[in-house]
Amino acid sequence: MWKDNEGSSRGRYHSRSNVDTSISQRINMESLVSKYIRIASVVAAYWTISISMVFVNKYLLSSESVKLNAPMFITWFQCVVTVLLCFLLSIGGQLFPQFVSFPAVKLEGKLIRATLPLSIVFVSMITFNNLCLKYIGVAFYFVGRSLTTVFNVIFTYFILQQSTSAKALGCCGVIIAGFFLGVDQEGASGSLSIVGVLFGVMASASVALNAIFTKKVLPLVDNNVWRLTLYNNINATFLFLPLMLVFGEFREVYEFPLLTQVSFWNWMTISGVFGFAIGYVTGMQIQVTSPLTHNISGTAKACAQTVLGCIYFGESKTGLWWLSNMVVLAGSGSYTEVKRREMKKQHGEAVAAAVKQVQIVEQLEDGKKSVSS
């Protein structure tokens, strides 16, 4: 009788244990699925907003129905929208903290001055990006701005005094070869704009400089990306004004026939919202994945953007033109992988050195104890 009760208790215990294990596995599976869904949603949002922004800017700059010959005014308006959204979200975060998470806006004169050099580079970057997009097609936009990695290596060497490995330099060589092949094939198809390519090269240099200056300035704003975004765009709204005056864009905008059309301002507002949103989803993608995955996602997005550009605008390209895109993609992807392996190796060496240092300290302490005893 007692044995039967013991056996029954053991049976109930094992049954309960199996149920607990099953529930735990189900919870882990559900949390893993929800994590994958969140990552997929963020990546999809990044792709959608980034590609949409390129198409909207192209529509404003070069479409037959709009064709506003004022790229700096468009970029200035996007900066104004970004500043307004930062203020609105800051107020929303204070009034409804349970729904809106956004840092409080606090402007400091010394930080506005400290971020000014970065803002000058930032203005150059977004101006050259839009000028490049004005003169070249969406399909060629990726190759036209593909030298960012190359300029990043150059500026890292001359500004930060940091050398680059031979393997990484080899990847840069592949990117340069793909760039020139793409330029050659774009010329063969009769749609090459030398001015557009030059603006693309300057945009690539500006993007690389912006990354280096951002890394330097970010600690001044407590490593808060949104505060840096706010200061950058505030400075940019003032920096663009003399540029718009010099290039005659005030007259261009004043005489623009669609200036009083609601549909035009709707498109302008949409471009401004996309300009603000791209900063948010970029940060989110890095947060839920990693900087490496973000680079891979950006490269894949650029490939999809090229295909969509060809389909939407009905462009027919040669096999060598597509090969140039693949060469640039291969070079960019290889560079990312080389840098990942180098960072992993450096991290391992740093950890090993730290462990060795701790062991030496422990040995010294043990030696002192043995001497004193």
Is position 321 within any domain? Answer: yes
pLDDT digits (tens, 9 = 90+) for 257-311: 999 999 999 999 999 999 898 877 876 776 677 655 666 677 778 888 888 988 8
pLDDT band at 64 (very low <50, low <70, confident <90, very high): confident
**CB-based burial label for 18 (10 Å; 0-12, 13-18, 19+):** exposed
Question: Nearest-5° angle of CA 228, CA 213, CA 215?
Answer: 70
Burial 156-172 (b: 16+ CB within 10 A, else e): beeeeeeebeeebeebb
Report the alpha-carbon distance of residue 146 to residue 167 in Å, rounded: 18
pLDDT at position 305: 87
Max Cα distance, the chain (Å): 102
Is position 333 within any domain? Answer: yes
pLDDT at position 161: 84
Domain count within the chain:
1
**DSSP notation for 237-254:** HHHHHHHHHHTTHHHHHH
Is position 1 within any domain? Answer: no
pTM: 0.78
Which residues, 6+ apart, have CB-to-CB distance to 17 below 8 Å? none
Report the alpha-carbon distance of residue 71 to residue 178 in Å, rounded: 28
pLDDT band at 222 (very low <50, low <70, confident <90, very high): confident
Is position 95 within any domain? Answer: yes
pLDDT band at 174 (very low <50, low <70, confident <90, very high): very high
| Residue 62 domain boundaries | 24-362
Write down how long the chain is.
373
| 340 or 325: which leads in pLDDT | 325
pLDDT band at 3 (very low <50, low <70, confident <90, very high): very low
C-alpha closest to that of 136 among 52, 46, 41, 200: 200
CB 253 within 8 A of CB 76: no
C-alpha closest to that of 270 among 81, 12, 11, 38: 81
Is position 11 within any domain? Answer: no
Give the phi and the psi of residue 175 in degrees, each rounded to 5.
-60, -45
pLDDT at position 2: 43
End-to-end CA distance of the chain: 64
Average pLDDT over residues 240-246: 93
| 120 or 373: which leads in pLDDT | 120
pLDDT at position 24: 56
pLDDT at position 313: 85
Residue 104 carries which DSSP code? P
| 102 or 55: which leads in pLDDT | 55
Is position 19 within any domain? Answer: no
CB 279 within 8 A of CB 229: yes
Predicted confidence (pLDDT) at residue 19 exceeds the cutoff of 90: no
Q: How many CB atoms lie within 10 A of CB 282?
A: 18
* The token pair that represents 321 in the structure block: 């033109």
Q: What is the mean pLDDT of the chain?
A: 84
pLDDT at position 88: 92
Is position 236 within any domain? Answer: yes
